[in-house]
Amino acid sequence: MLSRTQRPPNTTPTEALRLVKVTKTYGTADSKVTALEDVTLSLPRGTFTAVMGPSGSGKSTLLQCAAGLDAPDTGIVMVDGTEMTGGTEAQLTKFRRTRIGFVFQQYNLLDTLTVAQNTILPLKLARRRVNRKRVEEILTAVGLEGRLGHRPDQLSGGQRQRVAIARALVTEPSVIFADEPTGALDTRSAREVLHLLQEAVRIHDRTVVMVTHDPVAASYADAVLFLADGRLVGEMRRPTADAVAERLAHLGDDVPAGV
Amino acid sequence: MLALAMRSIRQRPGRFTATLLSAFLGATIIMTFNSMHDTAGANGVDATSAETLSTAAGVVGGYGTLLVFFAIASTLTVNVRQRTAEIDLLRSSGATPTQIKRMIVGESVAVALLAALLAIAPAMLGGHALLSLFQDSGQVADSVDYSFGPVALMSGISITLLASAGAAFLAVRRATRRRQPAGKGRKFFTYAALALGGLAACSTFAFSATDPALMAPPAYGAILLAIGFALLSPKLLLAVLDRLPFSGPSGYLAVRNMRQRAAQLSGVLMPLILFTGMATATLYMQAVENDAIDASGVPKSIDAKNLETLNLTVVGIIVVFSCIMLINSLYAATTYRSREFGQQRLAGATPGQVLGMVGVESLVVTATGVFFGTAAGLAGIIPFTVVRTDSLLPDQGLGTWLAIVATATAATFVTSLATARCTLRTPAVGAVTLVA
């Protein structure tokens, strides 16, 4: 028997997320859809990466497989140097708790909890000690001081998304996955949310992976990965909105290239 | 808007199952008992037979009807509340509150009508069976023919429709009004139900010990008190929630959830309190009645035994009905929470923690329901026992009550946990994006 838990000693601690030959297909044999095909990538700690591609390119599947919400058919996902092995949902949940934070387009805050309670929920669920001062600092940093007792339905979309960001920061995860975080927001709120995600990287030293449709949102990232038909087809560093839009428009012309 | 209502029923028959089931069962029970009125009113029925039949229809049919009314209403309230998202969508696409009201009430009436029509055949069979029970026990002459006539039909259809339309109207009015504090109407209803219930229970004392309708006032009293308690209980629950010794993530979530959703809990508490109250009241009163007949010195004839069986059958139907309603509304209420469960899982809750939370909630709901149900039941039992036997409490012991509590507990836990387990099979990401 091979010892699977033994980690290679040369795992670089600066690598937050690594995907190796990840493949995911949906459907049965006769109507098979390949959502991801042989995706290999590595993201260093403290980076802000946007994943872009047309609808159906596999963006969401990539995020869900990388975040342990869905199991890839083949391939390896490593977060913070630890391989995510398939298991029960409870095992995966416990794996995610300390390593992964989420920000969703639809916020996914619990309506019955206040802003403060929503923020500390992941800590409560993991039975971790709640550092009140730290939580208040984070909520102040995202601009929600004075709203700790409000409920999500008393907040605007932008404010809700800021609660979600605070909740993702509070567990100090290695990677924060954001799925179209600005998809339901007006331009101004979207800009604020994107700035907060940048700060999560710059100030809090988190690694952010953001799936988005919007070239402007993607331009806030350090790098953009382009996805088409389930394959990585390109990368752009220091993206600008115009360059990203241009590249998106010609995605079909790109020669598939690994990253 | 009515066309939209019909289309919405045709497109999504599944979500109307709970309402349809409760309206169907309710209509069946109402029609079964009320067809005794028709049978009694037919030509050539002798006076004794007619009286037995009318008393059965009047007493059991009467409080059964009240029970059915509130059972249908509570299922419907849960159902409408679950559609807030759809109602919001309609409102944002330009539907006026009146149009939305018309749609929801129209749907409910259509479902109720269908349920009442479907209930006719089973009610006829049930009525037949009930009549032959009466005939076997010798209370009704064998020559009496069963008839299913206008009283059964009209009462069944009108009560089912009225309960559905009324409950839908009230529920949708709540849903289309933005954040308003609990209305004065609710307060009025609560106190009216409690006052009337108390009055009904007390009026038992005005009857003589051998009056055939003696069981009616305490039974009505127990139902009305149960309804009043169900409306009042969320408030009382709020007061004790903070003192509950639940620790750990599941308890943390459960207590916070219930504090926010306390008002909605009365939808689930209603059938639970009704079940506990009705089962306790009717089973104990029947036992007291049987003992009193035994004690009257008349040797227990075959007829008397038949009578006992008959009464217990009748009471049993009511009890089984309220138990089904309990399961029905718990199932509907839990299925609806799959999105909430998904959000908790995404925030880091394991499936076990979600189930634990549901378990803690079930425990609190069961304890509350059993407490108030027993209180409502006792309010019916005590006056009845005092009048019938001159002692304060029945001497039957706690056995029946324990069985009732065990049934209520099992129904609550098994339904909630099994339903929650089912909804947990959907991946968390899928569960949060499902359209309500």
Q: Write the pLDDT tens digit of every residue in B198-236.
A: 999 999 888 888 777 788 889 889 989 998 998 888 888
Of A102, A117, A171, Cβ closest to residue B256:
A117
> CB B433 to CB A69 under 8 A?
no
Query: CA gyration radius for chain A?
Result: 18
- Report in angstroms the alpha-carbon separations of B311 from A31, A232, B394: 61, 75, 18
Residues 6+ apart with CB under 8 A from A153: A111
Contacts of B254 in chain A (CB under 8 A): none
> CB B349 to CB A89 under 8 A?
no
Does pLDDT of A4 surpass 50? no
pLDDT score recorded for residue A5 = 44
Could you tell me the two tokens for B96?
Answer: 């006026």
> CB A127 to CB B248 under 8 A?
yes
Length of chain B: 436
Does pLDDT of A22 surpass 90? yes
CB B30, CB B122: distance < 8 Å: no
Q: Which bin fits A85, alpha (ψ -120 to 50), beta or left (φ > 0)?
A: beta
Give pLDDT tens digits for B352-386: 999 999 999 999 999 999 999 999 999 999 999 99
Give pLDDT tens digits for B283-332: 898 888 878 877 776 665 666 666 667 677 777 877 888 888 888 888 88
Could you tell me the two tokens for B85?
Answer: 């998202």
Could you tell me the two tokens for B394?
Answer: 């029945």
Query: CA gyration radius for chain B?
Result: 23
CB B22, CB B159: distance < 8 Å: no
**Percentage, residues of chain B above pLDDT 70:** 91
Q: Phi and psi dihedrals of B396, rounded to 5?
A: -85, -15
CB B411, CB B373: distance < 8 Å: no
pLDDT score recorded for residue B94 = 81
**Residue A126: closest CA among chain B residues belongs to which residue?**
B348
Shortest CA gap B427–chain A (Å) = 8
Residues 6+ apart with CB under 8 A from A85: A4
> CB A124 to CB B345 under 8 A?
no
> CB A89 to CB B345 under 8 A?
yes
> CB B347 to CB A112 under 8 A?
no
**A74-79/A82-83 β-pairing:** antiparallel
Chain B residues whose C-beta is within 8 A of a chain A C-beta are 248-249, 252-253, 256-257, 259-261, 340, 342-353, 424, 427-429, 432-433
> CB B429 to CB A64 under 8 A?
yes
> CB B249 to CB A125 under 8 A?
yes
- By CB neighbour count within 10 A (0-12 exposed, 13-18 middle, 19+ buried), where does B291 fall? middle
CB B197, CB B221: distance < 8 Å: yes
- Cα angle B50, B55, B58 (rounded to 5 degrees) comes to 120
Q: Which bin fits B307, alpha (ψ -120 to 50), beta or left (φ > 0)?
A: alpha
Q: What's the pLDDT band for B410 if we cut at 50, 70, 90?
A: very high
pLDDT score recorded for residue A99 = 92
Question: Closest Cα to residue B31, out of B53, B55, B54, B57?
Answer: B57
Give one DSSP letter per residue of B102-170, joined into a string: HHHHHHHHHHHHHHHHHHHHHHHHHHHHHHHHHHHTTSS-TTPPP---HHHHHHHHHHHHHHHHHHHHH
Q: Phi and psi dihedrals of B86, rounded to 5?
A: -65, -40
Residues 6+ apart with CB under 8 A from A94: A126, B350
Shortest CA gap B101–chain A (Å) = 24
**Percentage, residues of chain B above pLDDT 90:** 28
Could you tell me the two tokens for B34?
Answer: 């009320």
Does pLDDT of A161 surpass 90? yes
Task: Spell out the SS3 assignment of A4-42.
Answer: CCCCCCCCCCCEEEEEEEEEEEECCHHHCEEEEEEEEEE
ipTM of the complex: 0.84
**Range A33-108+172-253 classified under CATH 3.40.50.300:** yes
Residues 6+ apart with CB under 8 A from B117: none
CA atoms of B358 and B355, how far apart (whole Å): 5
Every domain of chain A and the residues it spans: 33-108+172-253
Residue in B247, B261, B340, B346 to test binding to A, most A beta-carbons within 10 Å: B346
CB B82, CB B264: distance < 8 Å: no
Does pLDDT of A242 surpass 80? yes
pLDDT score recorded for residue A179 = 92
Q: Which one-letter DSSP state was computed for residue A206?
A: -
Mean pLDDT over residues A182-188, rounded?
90
Does pLDDT of A7 surpass 50? no
Owner of token pair 């809090």: A204
Task: Name the residue type at position A92.
Answer: L
- By CB neighbour count within 10 A (0-12 exposed, 13-18 middle, 19+ buried), where does B146 fall? middle
> CB B351 to CB A89 under 8 A?
yes
Q: What's the pLDDT band for B12 if we cut at 50, 70, 90?
A: low
Contacts of A171 in chain B (CB under 8 A): 348
CA atoms of A142 and A130, how far apart (whole Å): 18
Mean pLDDT over residues A3-8, rounded?
45
Mean pLDDT over residues A97-106, rounded?
91
CB B339, CB B431: distance < 8 Å: yes
Beta bridge partners of A18: A42, A78
Give pLDDT tens digits for B40-83: 888 778 888 888 888 778 877 777 777 778 777 777 877 777 77
Of A106, A109, A112, Cβ closest to residue B257:
A112
Shortest CA gap A23–chain B (Å) = 19
pLDDT score recorded for residue A122 = 92
Task: Map residue B304 onto helix, strand or coil.
Answer: helix
Chain A residues whose C-beta is within 8 A of a chain B C-beta are 64, 69-70, 89-90, 93-94, 96-97, 102, 104, 106, 108-113, 117-118, 121-122, 124-127, 151, 167, 171
Rounded to the nearest 10°, the torsion over CA B274, B275, B276, B282 is: 90
Question: Closest Cα to residue B140, out of B127, B153, B151?
Answer: B127
C-beta atoms surrounding A37 within 10 Å: 17
Contacts of B350 in chain A (CB under 8 A): 89-90, 93-94, 125
Q: What's the pLDDT band for B273 if we cut at 50, 70, 90?
A: very high
Give pLDDT tens digits for B276-294: 998 899 889 888 887 887 7
Shortest CA gap A117–chain B (Å) = 9
Mean per-residue pLDDT of chain A: 87
CB B97, CB B88: distance < 8 Å: no
